[in-house]
């Protein structure tokens, strides 16, 4: 990790969190894991990230207890990456940050919309359902493209699956191998 | 910013947000602005960051509309940095990420505790007050050291002010000049 030794002097839970998820790309890998991406090649194509960088980030996230390896195929044996329990608890900051970006930084509105699967209501910025009144765990959230999405920009199989609605943490089926 | 051109291909509000706040140190500068740090020298000492890096990050955050310059002294004239309205809306992700780090990554418990100023109840992970039931805006939040804090680690004036309780967004008074 390249966060610098000065970083370690920060006596702060936020700094500790940033050591794990603040590295470039790490948060987007975690986002993809919420989307249901499991396979190395699907992360590679969807993120457009150099292979060596992806390998390093996945290894760091496994070492930090955010992701764990899990078989997705018996023959030949293949392992993918899924969020651990601690990793799933990153849903709240990931959603809050995406929501902020959608509100302040994207032209034409948010690019992805997150809704409560059971009632279809868009989540509020704190990840709760305004209709049901309760926090919605990620497995009960659906994602679909929002008004700011540019379908021409992303044509890879993961992006197509995410045009949605797609339920978070539901595996995205093989497309790139 | 050094996030790489591939990043721009990510048709995602989270990626847009990370372009602004995902740069190394940017999130810690924003955290400090919530703490009430305004002066360049206070950021410098509290973050232990190289001067040129701090200058660049502050400039980027002003350009992105997260911070704005504001006079804090008339004679001689001096300008500091405060959060804009959009910057203040980063409280939810900043708090959620700090809370996650405190829960999963720090030994001895969280280093900083965030509470509802009016009733003293610790915020829940979504930034709401469990007692009052409502989301607490940052100006109504107090910060103080938690059980995992290491007072020996940080002796700078900002850290001492934050031993708290200190109300967020209340300016931390001059100590380093």
Percent of chain A with pLDDT strictly greater than 70: 90
Residues of chain B with Cβ-Cβ distance to A150 below 8 Å are 11
Of B52, B35, B37, B51, nearest to B111 by C-alpha is B35
Q: What is the pLDDT of residue B127?
A: 94
- CB contact (8 A) between residue B31 and residue A13: no
SS (H, E, C) B68-108: EEEEEECCCCEEEEEECHHHHCCHHHHHHHHHHHHHHCCCC
pLDDT top residue among A5 and A100: A100
Q: What is the pLDDT of residue B176?
A: 45
Q: What is the pLDDT of residue B105?
A: 82
In the structure, what pLDDT confidence band is assigned to residue A2 with cuts at 50, 70 and 90?
very low
Distance of alpha carbon A123 from its chain centroid, rounded? 16
Q: What is the pLDDT of residue A1?
A: 38
Tell me if B86 sits within 8 A of A101, measured CB to CB: no
Residues of chain A with Cβ-Cβ distance to B96 below 8 Å are 92-93, 96
Residue A176 in this model has a pLDDT that exceeds 70: no
Highest mean pLDDT among A20-29, A168-177, B71-80, B98-107: B71-80
Classify residue B17 by burial, with Cβ atoms within 10 Å: 0-12, 13-18, 19+: buried
Cα nearest neighbour of B136 on chain A: A126
How far is it between the farthest Cα atoms of chain A? 47
Digit-coded pLDDT (tens) for A144-166: 988 888 777 677 888 888 888 99
Contact B108/A at CB under 8 A: no
Identify which of B13, B128, B149 has the shortest CB distance to residue A126: B128
Q: What is the pLDDT of residue A7?
A: 55
How distant is the Cα of A37 from the closest Cα of chain B, in angstroms?
Answer: 15
How distant is the Cα of B51 from the closest Cα of chain A, in angstroms?
Answer: 13
Residue A75 has, within 13 A of its CA and on its CB side, a CA count of 0
What token pair was written down for A13? 């839970």
Q: What is the mean pLDDT of residues A45-64?
A: 94
How distant is the Cα of B54 from the closest Cα of chain A, in angstroms?
Answer: 13
- CB contact (8 A) between residue B93 and residue A90: no
Residue A111 in this model has a pLDDT that exceeds 80: yes
User: Which one of B12, B65, B145 makes the best mutation probe of the A interface by having the most chain A beta carbons within 10 Å?
Assistant: B12
Residues of chain A with Cβ-Cβ distance to B92 below 8 Å are 96, 100, 125-126
pLDDT top residue among A106 and A95: A95
Walk along chain B (177 residues) in steps of 10 and give the mean pLDDT of each run.
50 82 87 96 92 96 96 91 97 94 84 94 94 94 88 78 91 66
Contact A85/B at CB under 8 A: no
Question: Mean pLDDT of all residues in chain A?
Answer: 87
Cα nearest neighbour of A84 on chain B: B104
Please, which residues 8-37 of chain A have a Cβ atom closer than 8 Å to chain B? Answer: 9-22, 24, 27-28, 31
What token pair was written down for B142? 């107090």
The CA distance from A35 to A62, in Å, is 18
Spatial neighbors of A31 by CB under 8 A, at least 6 apart, are: A94, A98, B12, B14
Contact A106/B at CB under 8 A: yes
């Amino acid at each position: 990790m390249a966060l610098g030794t000065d970083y370690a002097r920060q006596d702060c839970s936020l700094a500790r969190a940033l050591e794990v998820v603040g590295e470039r790309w790490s948060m987007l890998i975690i986002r993809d894991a919420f989307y249901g991406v499991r396979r190395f090649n699907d992360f590679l194509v969807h993120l457009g990230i150099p292979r060596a960088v992806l390998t390093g980030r996945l290894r760091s996230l496994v070492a930090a207890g955010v992701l764990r390896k899990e078989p997705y195929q018996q023959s030949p044996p293949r392992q993918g990456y899924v969020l651990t329990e601690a990793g799933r608890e990153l849903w709240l900051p990931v959603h809050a940050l995406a929501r902020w970006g959608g509100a302040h930084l994207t032209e034409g509105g948010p690019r992805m919309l997150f809704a409560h699967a059971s009632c279809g209501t868009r989540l509020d910025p704190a990840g709760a359902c305004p209709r049901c009144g309760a926090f919605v765990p990620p497995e009960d959230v659906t994602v679909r493209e929002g008004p700011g999405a540019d379908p021409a920009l992303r044509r890879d199989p993961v992006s197509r699956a995410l045009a949605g609605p797609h339920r978070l943490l539901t595996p995205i089926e093989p497309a790139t191998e």
